[in-house]
Chains A and B, each alone.
Chain A
Amino acid sequence: MSRHAADVVIVGGGLIGVWTAFFLARRKQRVVLIDKGVVGAQSSGTNFGNLRLQGRFPGQYPLSLRSQSLWEEIAALIGEDCEFARTGHLYLAYDDEERAKLEGYAQVSESHGLAIERLGPSELRKRWPWLSERAVAATFSARDATANPRLVTPAVARAARALGVTIIENSCVSDVAHSGDGFSVKTADGAHWSCGALVNAAGAWAVAIAERFGETAPIVPAGPPQFVTEPFPYLIEPSIQAIDGSVIFRQIPRGNIILAGYPRTAADPVNNRAPVPPAKTLAAMRALARVAPILAQCHVIRVWSGIEGYLPDMIPVIGPSLTMPGLFHAFGFCGHGFQIGPGVGLCLSEMIVDGATSTPLEPFSIGRFRESVAVSEKFRKEFDGA
């Protein structure tokens, strides 16, 4: 068995893991990142690609805004722009109740300094004449953006490697244990690492690591079904989401329209499968045609999904372990990890190197699962366990 030493070992080469590796390497840490497959293979590489700011969990705004600043300079940070585009994000309401909900979101966003535009039916039709008349109100956030998830994680991993990070793909972590004043990490192919700090960014597989140290979280592995159409003349600039959760879609400059459908589908993390049932494909198609009737004859050409960890309160676990000093968790991103990924990586690097971060992360402590956690309405609505 080969034995090596590092300052930090990161388990999980998703977006969170690679950004954490990148920022740690910038602080001169010797970092090893291990993934059971290849970097960015699961939901980090298969998500919708939305960098949405409006409508987030209120306690997440400091982190979200800090993360967006990193996204906005991604080309300077890692040398590739990963199709980052400031497209804006449009939230649609179909009735008065939904309009009130939008207004609530808008006020929270504004209290954190985000500019929100409120649109009535006539302005909506003027700016996006192809939108169906069902939408009675909308809010638009111009700072929201999109990027290509297929490209980002490998690009950040390359930048991290250029800074000296050791990236090990296709290697399963077989054991993690406390050892001396740090950790011992073993892989199934016989490597053995000792390190001072350990980052658990193993996504849907993270709870197994937490449980080694007497902590847990009720994670649900699921895959958000995603769909894409053939190219259609470019007309949809912002990403557009119905607040009832029925559909979210965006068009890339090449013309294809990407849409995500709900509810999410339970995934199989053992066999690494996140199926997209045909009924969900049809449901997403109906939902899109309802918002944008002009697309009725546009064809869906492909579907995909990827496994992600969800938690019943629909917010992630980010921060230090409460049972083991030196262990840091970042998992269970519940379908909104893409936007906060760089911010989470930066905060974790600060916690590890400086002992603290200026960004408030208390709501994301794993400690909340010591007691029973209320199941969020979003969790109930967006899963069907099918």
Chain B
Amino acid sequence: MPCVAEIVVVGAGPAGINAAERLCAHGHRVVLVDEGRQAGGQGYRRPSPGLDLDMAAVMGTEAGKYEALHARFARLLPQIDYRPQTLVWAVEDHVLHLVQAGVASTLRFDALVLATGAMDKIAPFPGWTLPGVFTLGGAQVALKDQGCLVGRRVAFVGSSPLLALAAAQYSKLGGKVVTIADTTPFVRKLAALPALALSPRALWRGLSYLGGAMLVGVPVLHGVTPVKVVGDGHVEALILRDRRGRERRFPCDAIALGYGLKPETQLAELAGATLRFDEAFRLWLPQCDADGRAAPGLYLAGDGAAIGGADAAEASGGLAALAVLADLGELVDEGGRLALRRRLARLRGFQKGLAKAFAWPVAQIRALPDEVMLCRCEEVRIGEIRQAMAQQLGPVEINRVKAMTRCGMGRCQGRVCGPALQEIVAGTAGIAGEQAGRLRAQAPVKPIALAVAGEAP
């Protein structure tokens, strides 16, 4: 009798779609659960239905891949149990806990492929909570999903190749880019070039975005220090110090802030993955083998496993599916598997190079003044962390710091402030980032309304 395995894929971006496609091709019934309203994930996000948006212009060089992925998903759809707008809020003993349309339910699985993607990695600076400051990814979502610009005159700040990419998208759709200001010095980017040469195509693409921005006269700065956002109730200007130490002011009505991406690892952690501190990304990342195996029955793919971008997500989704199939005892195409592994290793290696070229600003974060808001949800300032740690019997471990100060205790559960908190704790205690510990994931991984639990019996 054929064994019918319950296979669940979480996340309908390029990784999840590839995994589901390959599993279906082997005759498996796949449940594809996604929090989004439409498939595509963040990078290949579709505009809201009824919105006429020139996605070819928005997607630029990636338009072909965007169209191809959505065409493949349309073909896949009739073969799978697709559950959009469904939140997975907990994992326990091979059962997923879901909320869909305001109702809680459960879903058992034998094999779970998590393709949960990534979110923006944010470093705070004075004024970053002022209305008009968006995360870089948020600025892109507004554009792709709603056809909206976050402002008319937008400053792109942080350290990421995506700053130039998003600026180019904004520019094409009529936004004025007032600056692309990167905190990493240019010499450091040059030093990372050998690693980046692993993927000349991606490198070229990044440079061409940068070139495009330069052509229209946008000041592109490297090695800046964000000083503050000024404005009365809303962003009016960005003030930064350039690499020569001169203070510069850029009048603007919106700021897009981003330091690259941060994998969404909460579900992987709850499902049993081991996390380790990665020095290049300065994040706690789930451990898995070359094909994505993280624990028995648990497979990780896409940016949620390791930042690699859309191409790596497709490859890792395919690999995770092959791992599921192999573990179910099915014959898989060994040559195809090796090719995918090589491709994935190259793309993720390139991203590791990018993490050096576009560095997380450790020194800048640790030097932030006390009055800077670190935790938006609970309104905790950096000074409160330092003060709590300085007192007798003060905490030196990040979960304890959270317990004493409320930092990371709010709605986002430290998903936004976590990486910066890690640096503040390590810097204040004078210990390595890893020794500061890791904010532990807890279910619900995102807030759930009381009503979803239903009526009491």
Binds B, one of A49-57, A193-201, A276-284, A312-320: A276-284
Q: How far is the CA of A283 from the CA of B97 in the complex (A)?
A: 13
Q: Does A270 contact B (CB under 8 A)?
A: no
Q: Does B59 contact A (CB under 8 A)?
A: no
Q: How far is the CA of A278 from the CA of B270 in the complex (A)?
A: 11
Q: Let me know if B442 and A167 touch, CB within 8 A.
A: no
Q: Let me know if A169 and B456 touch, CB within 8 A.
A: no
Q: Does A341 contact B (CB under 8 A)?
A: no
Q: Does B44 contact A (CB under 8 A)?
A: no
A295 touching B90 in the complex, CB below 8 Å, given contacts A161-B393, A302-B409, A303-B442: no
Binds B, one of A112-120, A150-158, A204-212, A363-371: A150-158
Q: Does B135 contact A (CB under 8 A)?
A: no
Chain B residue nearest to A157 (CB atoms) is B393
- A residues in contact with B104, CB < 8 Å: 282
- A residues in contact with B92, CB < 8 Å: 277-278
Q: Let me know if B452 and A39 touch, CB within 8 A.
A: no
Chain A, 293-334, CB within 8 A of any chain B CB: 295-304
- A residues in contact with B90, CB < 8 Å: 278, 281
A283 touching B453 in the complex, CB below 8 Å, given contacts A299-B448, A304-B442: yes
- B residues in contact with A300, CB < 8 Å: 444, 447-450
- A residues in contact with B443, CB < 8 Å: 276, 278, 281, 303
- A residues in contact with B413, CB < 8 Å: 301-302
Q: How far is the CA of A61 from the CA of B80 in the complex (A)?
A: 63
Q: What's the nearest-Cβ distance from chain A to residue B230, in Å? A: 28
- B residues in contact with A298, CB < 8 Å: 449-450
Q: Which of A150, A162, A246, A277 contacts B403 (CB 8 A)?
A: A150
Q: Let me know if A154 and B393 touch, CB within 8 A.
A: yes
Q: Which of B391, B447, B454 contacts A301 (CB 8 A)?
A: B447
Q: Does A287 contact B (CB under 8 A)?
A: yes
Q: Let me know if B444 and A289 touch, CB within 8 A.
A: no
- B residues in contact with A282, CB < 8 Å: 104, 452-454
Q: Give the number of chain A interface residues (Cβ < 8 Å).
A: 38
Q: Let me know if A296 and B393 touch, CB within 8 A.
A: no
- B residues in contact with A151, CB < 8 Å: 404
Q: How far is the CA of A41 from the CA of B455 in the complex (A)?
A: 35
Q: Does B72 contact A (CB under 8 A)?
A: no
A276 touching B453 in the complex, CB below 8 Å, given contacts A154-B404, A299-B447: no
- B residues in contact with A15, CB < 8 Å: none
Chain A residue nearest to B403 (CB atoms) is A150
What is the 8 Å Cβ interface bit string for chain B, positions 344-372, against chain A (1 contact, 0 not)?
Answer: 00000000000000000000000000000
Q: How far is the CA of A39 from the CA of B400 in the complex (A)?
A: 11
Q: Let me know if A297 and B450 touch, CB within 8 A.
A: yes
- A residues in contact with B403, CB < 8 Å: 45, 150
A289 touching B451 in the complex, CB below 8 Å, given contacts A150-B404, A281-B444, A302-B409: yes
Q: Let me know if A278 and B456 touch, CB within 8 A.
A: no
Q: How far is the CA of A2 from the CA of B453 in the complex (A)?
A: 56
Q: What's the nearest-Cβ distance from chain A to residue B416, in Å? A: 13
Q: What's the nearest-Cβ distance from chain A to residue B381, in Å? A: 15
Chain A, 31-57, CB within 8 A of any chain B CB: 38-39, 41, 45
Q: Let me know if B442 and A285 touch, CB within 8 A.
A: no
Q: Does B411 contact A (CB under 8 A)?
A: yes
Q: How far is the CA of A312 from the CA of B133 in the complex (A)?
A: 56
A278 touching B97 in the complex, CB below 8 Å, given contacts A38-B400, A297-B450, A303-B444: yes
- A residues in contact with B430, CB < 8 Å: none
Q: Does A192 contact B (CB under 8 A)?
A: no
A286 touching B456 in the complex, CB below 8 Å, given contacts A278-B443, A300-B447, A302-B413: yes
- B residues in contact with A167, CB < 8 Å: 393
Chain B residue nearest to A259 (CB atoms) is B450
Q: Does B61 contact A (CB under 8 A)?
A: no
Q: How far is the CA of A298 from the CA of B453 in the complex (A)?
A: 12
Q: Let me know if B444 and A287 touch, CB within 8 A.
A: no
Chain A residue nearest to B457 (CB atoms) is A286
Chain B, 59-90, CB within 8 A of any chain A CB: 89-90
Q: Let me know if A285 and B452 touch, CB within 8 A.
A: yes
Q: What's the nearest-Cβ distance from chain B to residue A191, in Å? A: 18
A158 touching B456 in the complex, CB below 8 Å, given contacts A45-B403, A281-B90, A300-B444: no
Q: Does A384 contact B (CB under 8 A)?
A: no
Q: Which of B393, B404, B454 contacts A286 (CB 8 A)?
A: B454
- A residues in contact with B400, CB < 8 Å: 38, 41
What is the 8 Å Cβ interface bit string for chain B, positions 399-419, against chain A (1 contact, 0 not)?
Answer: 010011000011101000000
Q: Let me know if A287 and B456 touch, CB within 8 A.
A: yes
Q: How far is the CA of A211 from the CA of B104 in the complex (A)?
A: 46
Q: How far is the CA of A295 from the CA of B452 in the complex (A)?
A: 12
Q: Let me know if B450 and A285 touch, CB within 8 A.
A: yes
Chain B, 355-397, CB within 8 A of any chain A CB: 391-393, 395, 397
Residues of B within 8 A of A (CB): 89-90, 92, 97, 104, 391-393, 395, 397, 400, 403-404, 409-411, 413, 442-444, 447-456
Beyond A154-B404, A230-B411, A276-B443: 16 further Cβ-contacts under 8 Å? A157-B393, A158-B392, A229-B450, A230-B410, A230-B447, A282-B104, A283-B453, A286-B454, A289-B453, A297-B450, A298-B450, A299-B411, A300-B450, A301-B447, A302-B442, A303-B444
5 smallest A-B Cβ distances: which pairs?
A299-B447, A278-B90, A285-B453, A282-B453, A296-B451
Return 14 A-B CB contacts under 8 Å, by A number.
Answer: A38-B393, A38-B395, A39-B393, A41-B400, A154-B404, A230-B411, A230-B447, A281-B443, A286-B455, A290-B456, A297-B450, A300-B444, A301-B413, A301-B447
